[in-house]
Amino acid sequence: MEKNAIVGQSGGPTSVINSSLAGVFQACSMRGAPRVYGMLNGVQGLLEERVCDLTERLSSYMDIELLKRTPSSFLGSCRYKLPEPDEDESVYIKLFGILEKLGIGYFFYIGGNDSMDTIGKLSEYGKRTGSDIRFIGVPKTIDNDLMLTDHTPGFGSAAKYIGVVMKEIIRDATVYGNRFVTIVEVMGRNAGWLTASAALARGEDCEGADLICLPEIPFHIDRFLEKVERMQKEKQSVVIAVSEGVKLPDGRFVCELSDDHRTKDAFGHINLTGTARYLSNLVARNMPTRSRAVELSILQRCGAHISSRTDITEAFQVGGAAAKAAFEGKTAMMVALDRLSDDPYQCTTKLVDIKEVANYEKKVPVEWINEQRTDMTQEFLSYARPLIQAELTPIFINGLTQHIVGV
Ligand code: F6P
C-alpha cells in the first residue's frame, strides 16, 4: 500500500506559496498517495497534531484554481526552530511518532532558509534512526536569498508589485512640483534583492527611483544626507527606495537608531520596520523640504492581485518536482530553479543538497550595483525582468478578489 504525504508552509507568506502547495498536492495525488495531509502552522502545529486532510478539502478544479490565486499560507505558518537532536531528542521522537500514526512516507516543507534548516534536521534524524520517510524542501521567499537556486518562488511577484507601486509613488510624488523627498521602505533583512527591484520602475513612462540603498552596502547617514541635498538641487522631487535591512558601518541596523520597540522571532531576528520613517524625519529636520515615508510592509508579500504568472507557474512546478523527487526515493534535498537563458527566458528545476542551502543567505552581487552605489546595473535588470512577466487574472466576485480560506 502506497504511503501518505504531508506538506507544511513556514516562514513569511508570499503571493504564490499556495501555488506550490497546489503543485505538491496534485503531483502526490496523481502519483498515488491515498491521502495528502496539511500541517496547520507548520511543524509547530504538527507537534500538536494539528493537521488537515487536503484530499478532502481540495476536491475540485475550482479549489486548485483559487488556491493558485490566494496569497499567504493556506495552511497557516510558523517561525519555529527545531532544537538540535542531541540537545532535545524528545521533539523528534514525538514528531516521527505522529508521522508514523498518519502513515506518512513523503514530507514536504515549503519555506525559506529557516525552513530548510527544519528539512535538514528532520532528514538527518530520519537517516540516523532508519526511517524511510523522504524529506524534500520546496523553496519560497520574497527575499530571494536562498543559495543554489537561480531565484525563489515569491520573489517575482513581490518584485513586480514593487516595480508597479514605485511607478505609482513616483507619479504621486511629482504632482505639486515642490521640494519633496519620498522614502520607500522595502523588505529584505540582509539581502537587497527586493529593494533592487525598485529599479524595474524606470522606463519610457517613468523616470525611476533616484536612489536605491541595499543592505549589501554599508549605510553612512552623513553621506546619505549629502546625496539627498545634492539630488534636490537638480530635482524637486526625490524618490528613494531603501531596504529595511540597511546597516551602519558598525553593523547595527539603521532602524535601531530610532527608539521604536523591537521584538525577536524564534530564530533571533529582530523586527526591522521603521527605517524609512527614521530617515524621512532626519531629512525633514536637516533640509528645507517636505518628506514622506512609505512602508510597503506586508503589502509586498501578499499583493496577489498583481502576481507574476511566471512566478505562479514556477511555484507550481517546484511543488510538482518535489513530489517527483520524493516518490523517486530522494531525501534531504531542496528543489532549485535552474535558469537556462534570459532571452528567451527558460528555466527548469534541479535538486540540491539541503545541507548546502540551510542557514546560508544569497546576497545581491555588488557588481550588479552601479559604481556610485545609487542604482542597479543592466545585469540585474536582465536577471529580474523575466521573473515579473505576465499576469494571472484574479477571480473577482462582487468587485473584489476571491480567495480560498478555512482549513
Ligand atoms: O519573509 C521574509 C520577510 O518578509 C523579511 O523580508 C522580513 O524581514 C520578515 O519576513 C518579516 O516577517 P514577519 O514580521 O512576518 O516575521
What would the pLDDT profile of 67-94 be if each residue is shown by its tens digit?
999 999 999 999 999 999 999 999 999 9
Is residue 367 classed as helix, strand or coil in its secondary structure? Answer: helix
- Choose the catalytic residue: 88, 117, 132, 143: 143
Site to probe by mutation for ligand 1, drawn from 244, 301, 362 as the one with most ligand atoms within 8 Å of Cβ, is 301
Whole-angstrom Cα Rg for the chain = 22
**pLDDT score at 238:** 97
| Nearest-atom index, ligand 1, CA of 265 | 16
Enumerate the domain spans of the chain.
4-153+304-360+389-401, 159-302
In this prediction, residue 242 has a pLDDT band, given cuts at 50, 70 and 90, of very high
In CATH terms, are 4-153+304-360+389-401 and 159-302 the same topology?
Answer: yes
For residue 266, pLDDT over 80 is answered with no
| Residue 134 grid coordinates | 523522504
Residue of the nearest CA to atom 5 in ligand 1? 188
**pLDDT score at 1:** 77
Residue type, 223: R
Q: Are 4 and 38 in contact (CB under 8 A)?
A: no
CB-based contacts of 249-253 (< 8 A; 24+ apart in sequence) = 249/218, 249/219, 249/220
Is residue 244 classed as helix, strand or coil in its secondary structure? Answer: coil
Q: Specify the residue for cell string 497534531.
A: 49
Bridge partner residues of 212 (DSSP): 241
Q: CB under 6 Å to ligand 1: residues?
A: 11-12, 141-143, 187-189, 265, 271-272, 301
What does pLDDT average to over the chain?
Answer: 96
In this prediction, residue 315 has a pLDDT band, given cuts at 50, 70 and 90, of very high
Residue of the nearest CA to atom 4 in ligand 1? 12
Cα-to-centroid distance, 142 and ligand 1 (Å): 9
Domain 4-153+304-360+389-401 in CATH 3.30.300.20? The answer is no
Cα distance between residue 198 and residue 150, in whole Å:
19
In this prediction, residue 115 has a pLDDT band, given cuts at 50, 70 and 90, of very high
Q: Report strand pairing: 396-397 vs 400-401.
A: antiparallel
Is residue 116 classed as helix, strand or coil in its secondary structure? Answer: helix
Q: Are 145 and 112 in contact (CB under 8 A)?
A: yes
| Nearest-atom index, ligand 1, CA of 187 | 6
Cα distance between residue 99 and residue 384, in whole Å:
39
Cα distance between residue 49 and residue 31, in whole Å:
25
**pLDDT score at 267:** 78
| Nearest-atom index, ligand 1, CA of 245 | 8
143 flagged as catalytic: yes
CB atoms within 10 A of CB 195: 29
For residue 116, pLDDT over 80 is answered with yes
For residue 298, pLDDT over 90 is answered with yes
For residue 206, pLDDT over 90 is answered with yes
Q: What is the CATH number of domain 159-302?
A: 3.40.50.460
